[in-house]
Structure 1
Amino acid sequence: MRWPNKQGLPGGWAGQRVLITGASGGIGYALAEALAQRGAHLLISGRKPEVLATLVNRFPAQITAVGADLTRAEDRHRLISAAHLSACTMLINAAGSNQQGFFDASSDSDIEQLVAINLTATLQLTRALLPQLMACPQATIITIGSTFGQLGYPGQVTYCATKFALRGFSEALRRELADTRVRVMYIAPRATRTAMNSPQTDALNVALGNTVDSPHAVALAIINAVEHQREELQIGLPERFFTRLNTLWPGAVDRALLRQLPIIRRFVATKESTS
Protein backbone atom coordinates (compact mmCIF):
# COMPACT_ATOMS: atom_id res chain seq x y z
CA MET A 1 0.00 0.00 0.00
CA ARG A 2 1.31 3.45 -0.90
CA TRP A 3 0.40 6.66 0.79
CA PRO A 4 -1.35 9.37 -1.21
CA ASN A 5 1.11 12.24 -1.13
CA LYS A 6 4.48 12.07 -2.84
CA GLN A 7 6.46 12.10 0.40
CA GLY A 8 4.38 9.40 2.06
CA LEU A 9 3.58 11.65 5.04
CA PRO A 10 0.07 13.11 5.28
CA GLY A 11 0.57 16.56 6.80
CA GLY A 12 4.35 16.25 6.48
CA TRP A 13 6.50 15.61 9.54
CA ALA A 14 4.60 18.27 11.46
CA GLY A 15 1.54 16.03 11.21
CA GLN A 16 3.30 13.01 12.70
CA ARG A 17 3.18 11.86 16.31
CA VAL A 18 6.13 9.54 16.71
CA LEU A 19 7.21 7.15 19.45
CA ILE A 20 10.97 6.54 19.40
CA THR A 21 12.46 3.90 21.68
CA GLY A 22 16.16 3.91 22.46
CA ALA A 23 16.21 7.70 22.23
CA SER A 24 18.81 8.08 24.97
CA GLY A 25 21.58 6.84 22.72
CA GLY A 26 23.03 6.78 19.23
CA ILE A 27 20.62 6.50 16.34
CA GLY A 28 17.51 6.98 18.48
CA TYR A 29 18.83 10.27 19.88
CA ALA A 30 19.83 11.52 16.42
CA LEU A 31 16.40 10.61 15.03
CA ALA A 32 14.62 12.44 17.85
CA GLU A 33 16.73 15.54 17.24
CA ALA A 34 16.25 15.49 13.46
CA LEU A 35 12.49 14.84 13.60
CA ALA A 36 11.91 17.53 16.21
CA GLN A 37 13.74 19.97 13.94
CA ARG A 38 11.30 18.99 11.18
CA GLY A 39 8.28 19.74 13.34
CA ALA A 40 7.23 16.24 14.44
CA HIS A 41 5.69 15.69 17.87
CA LEU A 42 7.63 13.02 19.72
CA LEU A 43 7.24 10.64 22.61
CA ILE A 44 10.72 9.36 23.40
CA SER A 45 11.86 6.52 25.61
CA GLY A 46 15.16 5.17 26.88
CA ARG A 47 17.04 3.89 29.89
CA LYS A 48 18.85 7.15 30.62
CA PRO A 49 16.33 9.80 31.78
CA GLU A 50 19.03 12.44 32.10
CA VAL A 51 19.85 12.11 28.39
CA LEU A 52 16.18 12.20 27.42
CA ALA A 53 15.84 15.38 29.48
CA THR A 54 18.37 17.18 27.28
CA LEU A 55 16.09 16.63 24.27
CA VAL A 56 13.00 17.72 26.19
CA ASN A 57 14.79 20.89 27.31
CA ARG A 58 15.74 21.70 23.72
CA PHE A 59 12.30 20.98 22.26
CA PRO A 60 9.83 21.41 25.14
CA ALA A 61 6.82 22.04 22.90
CA GLN A 62 7.42 18.93 20.81
CA ILE A 63 8.98 16.22 22.96
CA THR A 64 7.66 14.21 25.89
CA ALA A 65 9.92 11.65 27.55
CA VAL A 66 9.24 8.43 29.42
CA GLY A 67 12.21 6.69 30.97
CA ALA A 68 11.71 2.95 30.54
CA ASP A 69 13.40 -0.43 30.53
CA LEU A 70 11.36 -2.16 27.82
CA THR A 71 12.24 -5.61 29.14
CA ARG A 72 10.08 -4.81 32.21
CA ALA A 73 6.35 -5.26 31.68
CA GLU A 74 5.42 -2.38 33.98
CA ASP A 75 7.68 0.01 32.06
CA ARG A 76 6.23 -1.10 28.71
CA HIS A 77 2.71 -0.55 30.04
CA ARG A 78 3.60 2.99 31.14
CA LEU A 79 5.02 3.73 27.70
CA ILE A 80 2.01 2.21 25.94
CA SER A 81 -0.34 4.36 28.03
CA ALA A 82 1.69 7.45 27.14
CA ALA A 83 1.57 6.48 23.45
CA HIS A 84 -2.23 6.27 23.63
CA LEU A 85 -2.41 9.72 25.22
CA SER A 86 -0.03 11.11 22.60
CA ALA A 87 -2.07 9.55 19.75
CA CYS A 88 1.10 8.19 18.15
CA THR A 89 0.91 7.43 14.42
CA MET A 90 4.45 6.14 14.00
CA LEU A 91 6.57 3.72 16.01
CA ILE A 92 10.35 3.65 15.60
CA ASN A 93 11.91 0.65 17.31
CA ALA A 94 15.44 1.93 17.89
CA ALA A 95 16.14 0.47 21.34
CA GLY A 96 18.87 -2.12 21.34
CA SER A 97 22.02 -3.52 22.85
CA ASN A 98 25.19 -5.17 21.62
CA GLN A 99 27.64 -7.69 23.03
CA GLN A 100 30.92 -8.30 21.24
CA GLY A 101 32.54 -11.55 22.22
CA PHE A 102 32.95 -15.12 21.12
CA PHE A 103 29.92 -17.29 21.68
CA ASP A 104 31.66 -19.90 23.82
CA ALA A 105 32.42 -17.16 26.37
CA SER A 106 28.76 -16.04 26.60
CA SER A 107 26.80 -16.79 29.73
CA ASP A 108 23.14 -17.76 29.87
CA SER A 109 22.33 -14.32 31.27
CA ASP A 110 24.26 -12.60 28.44
CA ILE A 111 22.15 -14.43 25.86
CA GLU A 112 18.86 -13.91 27.71
CA GLN A 113 19.49 -10.21 28.20
CA LEU A 114 20.42 -9.50 24.60
CA VAL A 115 17.46 -11.44 23.21
CA ALA A 116 15.11 -9.71 25.68
CA ILE A 117 16.30 -6.21 24.78
CA ASN A 118 16.78 -6.53 21.04
CA LEU A 119 13.98 -8.91 20.13
CA THR A 120 11.37 -9.84 22.73
CA ALA A 121 10.70 -6.31 24.01
CA THR A 122 10.46 -4.97 20.45
CA LEU A 123 7.87 -7.59 19.47
CA GLN A 124 5.89 -7.11 22.68
CA LEU A 125 5.76 -3.33 22.35
CA THR A 126 4.85 -3.44 18.67
CA ARG A 127 2.06 -5.94 19.26
CA ALA A 128 0.63 -3.86 22.10
CA LEU A 129 0.54 -0.72 19.93
CA LEU A 130 -0.89 -2.40 16.81
CA PRO A 131 -4.58 -1.74 17.60
CA GLN A 132 -3.85 1.97 18.01
CA LEU A 133 -1.78 2.15 14.84
CA MET A 134 -4.32 0.17 12.80
CA ALA A 135 -7.02 2.62 13.85
CA CYS A 136 -5.07 5.56 12.38
CA PRO A 137 -5.82 6.86 8.85
CA GLN A 138 -2.15 6.09 8.09
CA ALA A 139 0.55 4.66 10.37
CA THR A 140 4.14 3.43 10.17
CA ILE A 141 6.26 0.90 12.09
CA ILE A 142 10.01 1.25 11.60
CA THR A 143 12.44 -1.25 13.08
CA ILE A 144 16.17 -0.56 13.20
CA GLY A 145 18.13 -3.71 12.45
CA SER A 146 21.70 -4.13 11.24
CA THR A 147 23.86 -5.37 8.39
CA PHE A 148 24.39 -8.25 10.80
CA GLY A 149 20.74 -9.11 10.30
CA GLN A 150 21.74 -10.44 6.87
CA LEU A 151 25.35 -11.43 7.47
CA GLY A 152 26.49 -13.78 10.21
CA TYR A 153 29.70 -12.40 11.67
CA PRO A 154 32.34 -13.81 14.07
CA GLY A 155 32.22 -12.31 17.56
CA GLN A 156 28.59 -11.22 17.07
CA VAL A 157 26.70 -14.52 17.20
CA THR A 158 23.86 -13.64 19.61
CA TYR A 159 23.59 -10.11 18.23
CA CYS A 160 23.29 -11.53 14.70
CA ALA A 161 20.62 -13.95 15.88
CA THR A 162 18.49 -11.09 17.24
CA LYS A 163 18.94 -8.92 14.16
CA PHE A 164 18.20 -11.78 11.74
CA ALA A 165 15.02 -12.30 13.75
CA LEU A 166 14.07 -8.62 13.60
CA ARG A 167 14.42 -8.63 9.83
CA GLY A 168 12.18 -11.68 9.58
CA PHE A 169 9.72 -10.08 11.97
CA SER A 170 9.50 -6.93 9.86
CA GLU A 171 9.15 -8.86 6.60
CA ALA A 172 6.41 -11.11 7.95
CA LEU A 173 4.54 -8.27 9.66
CA ARG A 174 4.68 -6.15 6.49
CA ARG A 175 3.08 -8.98 4.53
CA GLU A 176 0.52 -9.61 7.28
CA LEU A 177 -0.52 -5.94 7.27
CA ALA A 178 -0.35 -5.48 3.49
CA ASP A 179 -4.12 -4.92 3.26
CA THR A 180 -4.20 -2.39 6.11
CA ARG A 181 -3.15 1.25 6.46
CA VAL A 182 -0.02 0.40 8.44
CA ARG A 183 3.32 0.48 6.62
CA VAL A 184 6.17 -1.63 8.00
CA MET A 185 9.78 -0.67 7.31
CA TYR A 186 13.11 -2.29 8.17
CA ILE A 187 16.36 -0.28 8.26
CA ALA A 188 19.78 -1.97 8.40
CA PRO A 189 22.61 0.42 9.35
CA ARG A 190 26.24 -0.60 8.99
CA ALA A 191 28.85 0.22 11.64
CA THR A 192 27.73 3.38 13.44
CA ARG A 193 29.61 5.59 15.88
CA THR A 194 27.58 5.14 19.09
CA ALA A 195 28.18 4.57 22.79
CA MET A 196 27.31 0.89 22.24
CA ASN A 197 30.75 0.46 20.67
CA SER A 198 33.54 -0.57 23.01
CA PRO A 199 37.07 0.75 22.40
CA GLN A 200 37.89 -2.72 21.08
CA THR A 201 35.06 -2.48 18.55
CA ASP A 202 36.29 0.92 17.39
CA ALA A 203 39.82 -0.44 17.06
CA LEU A 204 38.57 -3.46 15.11
CA ASN A 205 36.70 -1.23 12.65
CA VAL A 206 39.90 0.74 12.09
CA ALA A 207 41.98 -2.42 11.63
CA LEU A 208 39.50 -3.82 9.08
CA GLY A 209 39.08 -0.49 7.28
CA ASN A 210 35.32 -0.44 7.91
CA THR A 211 33.37 2.71 7.17
CA VAL A 212 31.69 3.97 10.33
CA ASP A 213 28.70 6.30 9.96
CA SER A 214 27.65 9.01 12.38
CA PRO A 215 24.24 8.59 14.04
CA HIS A 216 23.19 11.83 12.33
CA ALA A 217 23.95 10.38 8.90
CA VAL A 218 21.95 7.25 9.70
CA ALA A 219 19.04 9.35 10.95
CA LEU A 220 18.97 11.32 7.70
CA ALA A 221 19.01 8.09 5.68
CA ILE A 222 16.05 6.79 7.68
CA ILE A 223 14.11 10.01 7.20
CA ASN A 224 14.80 9.91 3.47
CA ALA A 225 13.61 6.28 3.32
CA VAL A 226 10.34 7.20 5.04
CA GLU A 227 9.74 10.15 2.74
CA HIS A 228 10.37 8.00 -0.32
CA GLN A 229 8.22 5.11 0.94
CA ARG A 230 10.99 2.53 1.10
CA GLU A 231 10.02 -0.76 2.70
CA GLU A 232 13.58 -1.84 3.43
CA LEU A 233 16.90 -0.02 3.43
CA GLN A 234 20.40 -1.34 3.91
CA ILE A 235 22.89 1.46 4.38
CA GLY A 236 26.24 1.26 2.59
CA LEU A 237 27.06 0.10 -0.93
CA PRO A 238 29.90 -2.29 0.07
CA GLU A 239 27.68 -3.79 2.75
CA ARG A 240 24.84 -4.29 0.28
CA PHE A 241 27.25 -6.03 -2.10
CA PHE A 242 28.67 -8.25 0.64
CA THR A 243 25.26 -9.33 1.96
CA ARG A 244 24.08 -10.03 -1.58
CA LEU A 245 27.19 -12.11 -2.16
CA ASN A 246 26.45 -13.92 1.09
CA THR A 247 23.07 -14.92 -0.32
CA LEU A 248 24.33 -15.99 -3.73
CA TRP A 249 27.79 -17.37 -2.90
CA PRO A 250 28.15 -17.91 0.86
CA GLY A 251 31.34 -19.94 0.45
CA ALA A 252 33.14 -16.86 -0.87
CA VAL A 253 32.05 -14.90 2.20
CA ASP A 254 33.14 -17.78 4.45
CA ARG A 255 36.63 -17.56 2.99
CA ALA A 256 36.78 -13.77 3.23
CA LEU A 257 35.75 -13.82 6.89
CA LEU A 258 38.19 -16.64 7.63
CA ARG A 259 40.97 -14.30 6.49
CA GLN A 260 39.63 -11.63 8.87
CA LEU A 261 39.32 -14.01 11.82
CA PRO A 262 42.86 -13.53 13.21
CA ILE A 263 42.29 -9.75 13.27
CA ILE A 264 38.89 -10.18 14.93
CA ARG A 265 40.44 -12.41 17.61
CA ARG A 266 42.94 -9.65 18.45
CA PHE A 267 40.24 -7.15 19.32
CA VAL A 268 37.16 -9.08 20.36
CA ALA A 269 35.91 -8.55 23.90
CA THR A 270 32.51 -8.72 25.53
CA LYS A 271 31.05 -5.28 25.98
CA GLU A 272 27.43 -4.28 26.38
CA SER A 273 25.71 -0.94 26.22
CA THR A 274 22.03 -0.10 25.96
CA SER A 275 19.94 2.93 25.09
Structure 2
Amino acid sequence: MTILTDQRIILTGATGGIGIELAKQLVVQGCKLGLVSRSNEKLEQLAASLSSDANKLCLISADINTSDGRQTIIDQMLKSFDGYDMLINTAGIMDFTSLLEQSDERIEAVLQTNVIAPMLLCKKVLPYMLAQNEGHIVNVGSTFGSIGFAWFTSYSTSKFALRGFSQALRRELAETDIKISYIAPRAVRTSLNSSAVYDMAKEVKMNMDKPDFVAKQIIRSIIKDHKEKYLGFPEALFVRINAILPGLVDKATRSQNKAAKKYIS
Protein backbone atom coordinates (compact mmCIF):
# COMPACT_ATOMS: atom_id res chain seq x y z
CA MET A 1 0.00 0.00 0.00
CA THR A 2 1.34 3.43 -0.97
CA ILE A 3 1.11 6.42 1.38
CA LEU A 4 0.85 9.55 -0.77
CA THR A 5 1.58 12.20 1.87
CA ASP A 6 4.75 14.12 0.91
CA GLN A 7 5.28 12.00 -2.20
CA ARG A 8 7.17 14.03 -4.82
CA ILE A 9 5.24 13.46 -8.03
CA ILE A 10 5.92 14.40 -11.64
CA LEU A 11 2.53 14.81 -13.35
CA THR A 12 2.62 15.18 -17.13
CA GLY A 13 -0.41 16.47 -18.98
CA ALA A 14 -1.21 18.42 -15.83
CA THR A 15 -3.43 20.96 -17.59
CA GLY A 16 -5.50 18.32 -19.42
CA GLY A 17 -8.84 17.01 -18.19
CA ILE A 18 -7.59 14.08 -16.14
CA GLY A 19 -4.39 15.90 -15.16
CA ILE A 20 -6.25 18.84 -13.61
CA GLU A 21 -8.41 16.54 -11.51
CA LEU A 22 -5.43 14.46 -10.45
CA ALA A 23 -3.62 17.63 -9.37
CA LYS A 24 -6.60 18.75 -7.28
CA GLN A 25 -6.94 15.40 -5.56
CA LEU A 26 -3.23 14.78 -5.06
CA VAL A 27 -2.91 18.17 -3.36
CA VAL A 28 -5.53 17.04 -0.85
CA GLN A 29 -3.43 13.92 -0.25
CA GLY A 30 -0.51 16.17 0.74
CA CYS A 31 1.70 15.48 -2.27
CA LYS A 32 4.43 17.69 -3.66
CA LEU A 33 3.62 18.16 -7.33
CA GLY A 34 5.77 18.88 -10.35
CA LEU A 35 3.05 20.00 -12.77
CA VAL A 36 4.15 19.58 -16.39
CA SER A 37 2.59 21.28 -19.40
CA ARG A 38 3.73 23.10 -22.51
CA SER A 39 1.61 26.12 -21.53
CA ASN A 40 2.98 28.25 -18.72
CA GLU A 41 -0.25 30.28 -18.72
CA LYS A 42 -2.37 27.17 -18.13
CA LEU A 43 0.02 26.02 -15.41
CA GLU A 44 -0.36 29.32 -13.58
CA GLN A 45 -4.14 29.09 -13.87
CA LEU A 46 -4.07 25.58 -12.48
CA ALA A 47 -1.79 26.56 -9.61
CA ALA A 48 -4.11 29.44 -8.72
CA SER A 49 -7.02 27.00 -8.49
CA LEU A 50 -5.24 24.65 -6.12
CA SER A 51 -5.53 25.13 -2.38
CA SER A 52 -1.95 24.23 -1.63
CA ASP A 53 1.19 25.65 -0.09
CA ALA A 54 3.14 27.18 -2.97
CA ASN A 55 6.21 25.34 -1.72
CA LYS A 56 4.49 22.07 -2.63
CA LEU A 57 4.02 23.05 -6.26
CA CYS A 58 6.60 23.21 -9.02
CA LEU A 59 5.34 24.56 -12.36
CA ILE A 60 7.31 23.00 -15.18
CA SER A 61 6.76 24.46 -18.63
CA ALA A 62 8.26 21.77 -20.85
CA ASP A 63 7.57 19.68 -23.93
CA ILE A 64 7.92 15.98 -23.10
CA ASN A 65 8.51 15.31 -26.81
CA THR A 66 11.92 16.94 -26.69
CA SER A 67 15.13 15.89 -24.97
CA ASP A 68 15.54 19.41 -23.56
CA GLY A 69 11.98 19.33 -22.22
CA ARG A 70 12.51 16.02 -20.44
CA GLN A 71 15.77 17.28 -18.93
CA THR A 72 14.00 20.42 -17.73
CA ILE A 73 11.52 18.25 -15.83
CA ILE A 74 14.32 16.42 -14.02
CA ASP A 75 16.24 19.62 -13.28
CA GLN A 76 13.21 21.43 -11.88
CA MET A 77 12.22 18.50 -9.64
CA LEU A 78 15.75 18.26 -8.26
CA LYS A 79 15.84 22.01 -7.67
CA SER A 80 12.41 22.26 -6.05
CA PHE A 81 12.09 18.96 -4.17
CA ASP A 82 15.59 17.41 -4.20
CA GLY A 83 14.26 14.57 -6.33
CA TYR A 84 11.07 12.67 -7.07
CA ASP A 85 9.26 9.54 -5.96
CA MET A 86 6.66 9.04 -8.66
CA LEU A 87 5.99 9.76 -12.31
CA ILE A 88 2.41 9.83 -13.59
CA ASN A 89 2.18 9.94 -17.38
CA THR A 90 -1.18 11.35 -18.49
CA ALA A 91 -0.19 13.51 -21.47
CA GLY A 92 -1.70 12.33 -24.74
CA ILE A 93 -3.39 13.24 -28.02
CA MET A 94 -6.08 11.50 -30.07
CA ASP A 95 -7.75 11.57 -33.50
CA PHE A 96 -11.14 10.18 -34.51
CA THR A 97 -10.74 9.44 -38.21
CA SER A 98 -9.96 6.74 -40.73
CA LEU A 99 -6.36 5.68 -41.16
CA LEU A 100 -6.42 6.79 -44.82
CA GLU A 101 -7.57 10.29 -43.89
CA GLN A 102 -5.04 10.76 -41.11
CA SER A 103 -1.84 12.44 -42.25
CA ASP A 104 1.50 10.69 -41.89
CA GLU A 105 2.68 13.57 -39.69
CA ARG A 106 -0.29 13.22 -37.35
CA ILE A 107 0.17 9.46 -37.00
CA GLU A 108 3.79 10.09 -36.04
CA ALA A 109 2.71 12.80 -33.58
CA VAL A 110 0.22 10.48 -31.83
CA LEU A 111 2.82 7.74 -31.42
CA GLN A 112 5.49 10.24 -30.37
CA THR A 113 3.34 11.87 -27.68
CA ASN A 114 1.52 8.79 -26.41
CA VAL A 115 4.33 6.20 -26.53
CA ILE A 116 7.83 7.40 -27.31
CA ALA A 117 7.83 10.45 -25.04
CA PRO A 118 6.52 8.52 -21.99
CA MET A 119 9.08 5.78 -22.64
CA LEU A 120 11.94 8.26 -22.83
CA LEU A 121 10.74 10.11 -19.74
CA CYS A 122 10.58 6.81 -17.85
CA LYS A 123 14.15 6.15 -18.97
CA LYS A 124 15.08 9.62 -17.73
CA VAL A 125 13.65 9.16 -14.22
CA LEU A 126 14.93 5.62 -13.69
CA PRO A 127 18.58 6.33 -12.74
CA TYR A 128 17.49 8.38 -9.71
CA MET A 129 14.86 5.79 -8.72
CA LEU A 130 17.36 2.96 -9.09
CA ALA A 131 19.90 4.85 -7.00
CA GLN A 132 17.42 5.08 -4.13
CA ASN A 133 15.89 1.67 -5.03
CA GLU A 134 12.43 3.16 -4.70
CA GLY A 135 9.91 4.76 -6.98
CA HIS A 136 6.64 4.36 -8.81
CA ILE A 137 5.90 4.91 -12.50
CA VAL A 138 2.22 5.18 -13.42
CA ASN A 139 1.26 5.07 -17.10
CA VAL A 140 -2.33 6.12 -17.76
CA GLY A 141 -3.59 4.14 -20.73
CA SER A 142 -7.05 3.34 -22.03
CA THR A 143 -9.37 0.42 -22.71
CA PHE A 144 -8.54 1.38 -26.32
CA GLY A 145 -5.14 -0.13 -25.51
CA SER A 146 -6.71 -3.56 -25.01
CA ILE A 147 -9.56 -3.38 -27.52
CA GLY A 148 -8.67 -1.96 -30.93
CA PHE A 149 -11.43 0.46 -31.91
CA ALA A 150 -12.22 1.33 -35.52
CA TRP A 151 -11.61 5.00 -36.42
CA PHE A 152 -9.20 5.35 -33.48
CA THR A 153 -6.45 3.33 -35.13
CA SER A 154 -3.38 5.37 -34.21
CA TYR A 155 -4.69 6.10 -30.72
CA SER A 156 -5.47 2.44 -30.03
CA THR A 157 -2.06 1.47 -31.39
CA SER A 158 -0.34 3.93 -29.09
CA LYS A 159 -2.17 2.68 -26.01
CA PHE A 160 -1.53 -0.97 -26.90
CA ALA A 161 2.15 -0.04 -27.06
CA LEU A 162 2.05 1.82 -23.74
CA ARG A 163 0.46 -1.21 -22.09
CA GLY A 164 3.12 -3.53 -23.52
CA PHE A 165 5.88 -1.16 -22.46
CA SER A 166 4.52 -1.01 -18.91
CA GLN A 167 4.33 -4.79 -18.68
CA ALA A 168 7.83 -5.31 -20.09
CA LEU A 169 9.40 -2.64 -17.86
CA ARG A 170 7.67 -4.09 -14.79
CA ARG A 171 9.27 -7.45 -15.52
CA GLU A 172 12.62 -5.83 -16.23
CA LEU A 173 12.56 -4.16 -12.81
CA ALA A 174 11.12 -7.13 -10.92
CA GLU A 175 14.22 -7.49 -8.74
CA THR A 176 14.01 -3.86 -7.59
CA ASP A 177 11.57 -1.95 -5.38
CA ILE A 178 10.40 0.24 -8.27
CA LYS A 179 6.72 -0.23 -9.08
CA ILE A 180 5.22 0.06 -12.56
CA SER A 181 1.47 0.56 -12.93
CA TYR A 182 -0.72 0.67 -16.03
CA ILE A 183 -4.16 2.14 -15.35
CA ALA A 184 -6.70 2.17 -18.17
CA PRO A 185 -9.87 4.26 -17.99
CA ARG A 186 -12.68 3.82 -20.49
CA ALA A 187 -13.74 6.89 -22.50
CA VAL A 188 -13.44 10.12 -20.50
CA ARG A 189 -15.23 13.45 -20.99
CA THR A 190 -12.29 15.75 -21.74
CA SER A 191 -11.25 18.26 -24.40
CA LEU A 192 -9.32 15.43 -26.04
CA ASN A 193 -12.64 14.51 -27.65
CA SER A 194 -14.04 16.43 -30.60
CA SER A 195 -17.73 17.25 -30.93
CA ALA A 196 -17.93 14.42 -33.46
CA VAL A 197 -16.73 11.96 -30.81
CA TYR A 198 -19.46 13.08 -28.44
CA ASP A 199 -22.10 12.81 -31.17
CA MET A 200 -20.87 9.34 -32.07
CA ALA A 201 -20.70 8.27 -28.42
CA LYS A 202 -24.30 9.33 -27.88
CA GLU A 203 -25.56 7.30 -30.84
CA VAL A 204 -23.67 4.11 -30.03
CA LYS A 205 -24.32 4.51 -26.30
CA MET A 206 -20.63 4.61 -25.40
CA ASN A 207 -20.03 4.95 -21.67
CA MET A 208 -18.00 8.05 -20.76
CA ASP A 209 -16.78 9.00 -17.29
CA LYS A 210 -16.13 12.42 -15.78
CA PRO A 211 -12.46 13.34 -15.19
CA ASP A 212 -12.88 13.79 -11.43
CA PHE A 213 -14.25 10.25 -11.09
CA VAL A 214 -11.41 8.83 -13.21
CA ALA A 215 -8.80 10.72 -11.19
CA LYS A 216 -10.26 9.32 -7.98
CA GLN A 217 -10.04 5.78 -9.38
CA ILE A 218 -6.46 6.30 -10.57
CA ILE A 219 -5.39 7.52 -7.13
CA ARG A 220 -7.14 4.59 -5.50
CA SER A 221 -5.24 2.21 -7.79
CA ILE A 222 -1.95 3.92 -6.95
CA ILE A 223 -2.60 3.62 -3.22
CA LYS A 224 -3.49 -0.07 -3.62
CA ASP A 225 -0.37 -0.71 -5.75
CA HIS A 226 -2.32 -2.17 -8.65
CA LYS A 227 0.01 -3.37 -11.41
CA GLU A 228 -2.76 -3.21 -14.01
CA LYS A 229 -6.22 -1.78 -13.53
CA TYR A 230 -9.06 -1.38 -16.03
CA LEU A 231 -11.72 1.11 -15.03
CA GLY A 232 -15.41 0.80 -15.79
CA PHE A 233 -17.92 -2.01 -16.30
CA PRO A 234 -18.63 -3.69 -18.69
CA GLU A 235 -15.51 -2.39 -20.50
CA ALA A 236 -13.15 -4.12 -18.06
CA LEU A 237 -14.95 -7.38 -18.83
CA PHE A 238 -14.71 -6.76 -22.59
CA VAL A 239 -10.94 -6.36 -22.17
CA ARG A 240 -10.77 -9.92 -20.85
CA ILE A 241 -13.08 -11.27 -23.54
CA ASN A 242 -11.12 -9.56 -26.31
CA ALA A 243 -7.88 -11.10 -25.03
CA ILE A 244 -9.35 -14.59 -25.29
CA LEU A 245 -11.98 -14.35 -28.04
CA PRO A 246 -11.23 -11.34 -30.27
CA GLY A 247 -13.45 -12.76 -33.02
CA LEU A 248 -16.43 -12.47 -30.70
CA VAL A 249 -15.66 -8.81 -30.13
CA ASP A 250 -15.27 -8.31 -33.91
CA LYS A 251 -18.86 -9.41 -34.34
CA ALA A 252 -20.14 -7.49 -31.33
CA THR A 253 -18.66 -4.17 -32.52
CA ARG A 254 -19.55 -4.44 -36.21
CA SER A 255 -22.81 -2.48 -36.02
CA GLN A 256 -21.22 0.10 -33.71
CA ASN A 257 -18.38 0.63 -36.18
CA LYS A 258 -20.84 1.22 -39.03
CA ALA A 259 -22.75 3.76 -36.96
CA ALA A 260 -19.55 5.53 -35.88
CA LYS A 261 -18.33 5.86 -39.47
CA LYS A 262 -20.92 8.57 -40.13
CA TYR A 263 -19.13 10.92 -37.74
CA ILE A 264 -15.48 10.52 -38.72
CA SER A 265 -13.61 13.49 -40.14
TM-score range, shorter chain: over 0.9
- Cα-to-partner distance string for 1:53-92 (whole Å, 9 max, x where unaligned): 1232233232111111211222121112113332110000
3-state secondary structure, aligned to 2:132 = coil
Give the whole-Å Cα distance in 1 for the aligned partners of 2:55 and 2:77.
Answer: 16
Pair 1:65-2:59 in alignment: yes
Q: How much is the aligned-residue C-alpha RMSD, in angstroms?
A: 1.2
- Cα-to-partner distance string for 1:155-188 (whole Å, 9 max, x where unaligned): 0111111100000000011111111010000000
Q: Which has the higher contact order (CA 8 A, sep 6+)?
A: 1
Give the whole-Å Cα distance in 2 for the aligned partners of 1:219 and 1:180.
Answer: 27
Q: CA deviation at 1:121?
A: 0.7
Matches of residues 24-173 of structure 1 in structure 2 within 5 Å?
24-57=15-48, 58=50, 59=52, 60-85=54-79, 86=81, 87-136=83-132, 138-173=134-169
Q: CA deviation at 1:15?
A: 2.4
Which consecutive aligned stretches of 4+ in structure 1 deviate over 3 angstroms post-superposition? Answer: none
**For structure 1, which segment, 77-86 or 137-146, has the greater mean C-alpha deviation from structure 2 after superposition?**
77-86
Pair 1:259-2:250 in alignment: no
Q: Indicate conservation of the 8 Å contact 1:44/1:64, yes or no.
A: yes
- Cα-to-partner distance string for 1:219-264 (whole Å, 9 max, x where unaligned): 1101111111211100012101212111222111111221112211
Instruction: Tell me the amino acid that sits aligned with residue 44 of structure 1.
Output: L
Q: CA deviation at 1:22?
A: 0.4
Pair 1:229-2:220 in alignment: no
Give the whole-Å Cα distance in 2 for the aligned partners of 1:114 and 1:240.
Answer: 24
Give the whole-Å Cα distance in 1 for the aligned partners of 2:177 and 2:199.
Answer: 44
Give the whole-Å Cα distance in 2 for the aligned partners of 1:14 and 1:134.
Answer: 21
Q: CA deviation at 1:147?
A: 0.3
Q: Indicate conservation of the 8 Å contact 1:136/1:181, yes or no.
A: no
TM-score normalised according to structure 2 size:
0.95
Instruction: Tell me the amino acid that sits aligned with residue 11 of structure 2.
Output: I
Q: Indicate conservation of the 8 Å contact 2:58/2:76, yes or no.
A: no
> Unaligned stretches of 5+ in structure 1?
1-7, 270-275
TM-score normalised according to structure 1 size:
0.91
> Unaligned stretches of 5+ in structure 2?
none
Aligned length: 260
3-state secondary structure, aligned to 1:104 = coil
Pair 1:22-2:13 in alignment: yes
Q: Indicate conservation of the 8 Å contact 1:80/1:125, yes or no.
A: no
Q: CA deviation at 1:137?
A: 5.1
Instruction: Tell me the amino acid that sits aligned with residue 38 of structure 1.
Output: Q
Matches of residues 236-255 of structure 1 in structure 2 within 5 Å?
236-255=232-251
